[in-house]
């Protein structure tokens, strides 16, 4: 798989016969000035090109010959005492299939002898190249890698499906385990248990386990609140398999039964997601799909009496952005918010609700992305709007303040763009009746 990734990347450098691509791998991080090590996770681009999951490695790829050189650290016997077996160079050749293996202390002389015309590297590695006495070119490799990583191969999709399967099960287990009086961190523990027991040690992101008003905080980090009877619980969490991420969100009542208001708001979000999913096919644009979801949200809010006016006017006045302030979704792959959302030269849309789109692309078969509309009652957005004469006339000034503690609802699925539409990797129940049955 990684050999094919390198071949794909080299097609973008076919006119350069004596240049090299230099990629620096990740290193172990410590907590401040202690010897406490954070779990190591390889830098995504070098993982994409080599599959090497160990720290302190680099890769050099020759643009003319395609030869791949793996640069490994020279470990001491003391390293073996504390950290484990020190592999010989030949074993790295067997593991990752490089054409050459050299030690990191050999790299400066090796590069000088090679004498490349150009050294393409990512911006963060520029200083390393300068220390070797060479001039880095940092303007092309990042975009080239993003272009390569956007369209997933069958092997990559298999990894993404494995990550999704573990997260699907973990979400279902949390849905069945939640109860009034539990702490948010207890539910995170349930989720983590069911991903780790599948061997998926790394989390692709810290996860959101937000109850009550916290469910309206888009990147909620606290996990110490006790879940209240009658509140909503929003769980945004995923897992990672060989670096490939899943990212799923479900929102449901802590006590297992939606109130009439919760049911109305939930169905608005589900309708928005359904509208978006029905537009996932090659040729459509992310911003158009986002606006279709936003339209469903303001229409639903109008039908419940929380906003006033015609749908076209509500869209024109950007009223949707007061309730749906984030982007519809993002690419998914070796990073949760995967690369390639904004190709070179693509500008962000300067419009409320669309400024935070993480991708402006025309869909192509092989893209993998999240679809995650949300509807939130955020005082920081609604209070100023209620006092703004340009939009307050569209808002129910009596009912909305009563919902400042409601929180929010988000529903997020992971999908593959296929030639004839899409394939949904997410199986966690999202129909209200199914959720209540599972929680019953």
Residues with a catalytic annotation lie at 35, 219, 236, 247, 326, 330, 337, 372, 376, 410, 412
Among 275, 354, 355, 353, smallest CA distance to 319 is for 353
In three-state secondary structure terms, 263 is helix
Q: For the stretch 52-63, what's the b/e string if a residue is b when 16 or more beta carbons lie within 10 angstroms of its beta carbon?
A: bbebbbbbbbbb
Distance in angstroms (rounded) separating the CA atoms of residues 220 and 188: 13
Cβ proximity of 26 and 55 under 8 Å:
yes
Interior CA angle at 417 toward 415 and 419, to 5°? 145
Return the sign of the alpha-carbon dihedral for residues 173, 176, 177, 181. positive
Among 149, 173, 159, 156, smallest CA distance to 359 is for 149
Cβ proximity of 361 and 286 under 8 Å:
yes
Q: Could you write out the DSSP letters of every residue in 94-153?
A: HHH--SEEEEGGGHHHHHHHH--S-EEE-GGGHHHHHHTT--EE-SSHHHHHHHHHHSPP
Distance in angstroms (rounded) separating the CA atoms of residues 191 and 184: 11
What CA dihedral angle connects 415, 419, 421 and 423, to 10 degrees?
A: -30
Q: Which helix (H) or strand (E) holds 370?
A: strand 368-371
Q: Strands 58-62, 68-72: parallel, antiparallel or unpaired by DSSP?
A: antiparallel
Distance in angstroms (rounded) separating the CA atoms of residues 46 and 40: 14
What CA dihedral angle connects 269, 350, 378 and 394, to 10 degrees?
A: -80
């Amino acid at each position: 798989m990684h050999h094919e990734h390198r071949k794909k990347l080299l097609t973008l450098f076919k006119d350069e016969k004596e240049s090299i691509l230099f990629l620096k791998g990740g290193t172990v991080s410590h907590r401040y000035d202690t010897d406490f090590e954070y779990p190591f996770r390889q830098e995504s681009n070098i993982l994409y090109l080599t599959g090497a999951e160990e720290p302190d490695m680099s890769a050099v790829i020759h643009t003319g010959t395609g030869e791949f050189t793996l640069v490994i650290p020279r470990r001491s016997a003391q390293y073996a005492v504390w950290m484990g077996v020190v592999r010989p160079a030949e074993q790295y050749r067997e593991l990752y299939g490089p054409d050459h293996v050299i030690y990191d202390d050999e790299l400066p002389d090796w590069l000088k002898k090679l004498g490349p015309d150009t050294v393409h590297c990512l911006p963060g590695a520029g200083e390393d190249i300068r220390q070797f006495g060479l001039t880095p070119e940092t303007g092309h490799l990042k975009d080239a890698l993003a272009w390569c990583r956007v369209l997933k191969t069958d092997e990559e999709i298999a990894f993404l499906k494995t990550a999704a399967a573990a997260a699907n099960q973990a979400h279902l287990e949390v849905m069945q385990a939640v109860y009034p009086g539990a702490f948010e961190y207890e539910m995170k523990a349930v989720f983590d248990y069911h991903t780790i027991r599948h061997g998926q040690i790394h989390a692709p992101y810290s996860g959101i386990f937000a109850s009550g008003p916290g469910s309206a905080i888009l990147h909620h980090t606290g996990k110490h609140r006790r879940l209240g009877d009658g509140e909503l619980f929003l769980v945004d969490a995923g897992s990672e398999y060989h670096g490939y991420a899943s990212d799923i969100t479900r929102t449901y009542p802590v006590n297992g039964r939606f109130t009439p208001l919760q049911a109305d708001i939930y169905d608005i979000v589900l309708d928005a997601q359904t509208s978006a999913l029905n537009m996932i096919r090659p040729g459509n644009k992310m911003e158009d799909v986002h606006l279709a979801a936003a339209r469903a949200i303001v229409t639903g809010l109008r039908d419940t009496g929380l906003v006033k006016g015609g749908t076209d006017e509500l869209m024109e006045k950007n009223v949707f952005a007061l309730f749906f302030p984030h982007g519809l979704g993002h690419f998914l792959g070796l990073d949760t918010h995967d690369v390639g959302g904004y190709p070179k030269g693509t500008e962000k849309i300067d419009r409320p609700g669309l400024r935070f789109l993480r991708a402006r692309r025309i869909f192509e078969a092989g893209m993998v992305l999240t679809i995650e509309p949300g509807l939130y009652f955020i005082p920081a957005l609604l209070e100023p709007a209620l006092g703004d004469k340009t939009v307050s006339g569209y808002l129910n000034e009596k009912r909305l303040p009563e919902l400042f503690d409601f929180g929010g609802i988000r529903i997020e699925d992971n999908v593959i763009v296929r030639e004839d539409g899409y394939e949904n990797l997410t199986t966690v129940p999202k129909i209200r009746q199914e959720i209540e049955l599972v929680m019953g």
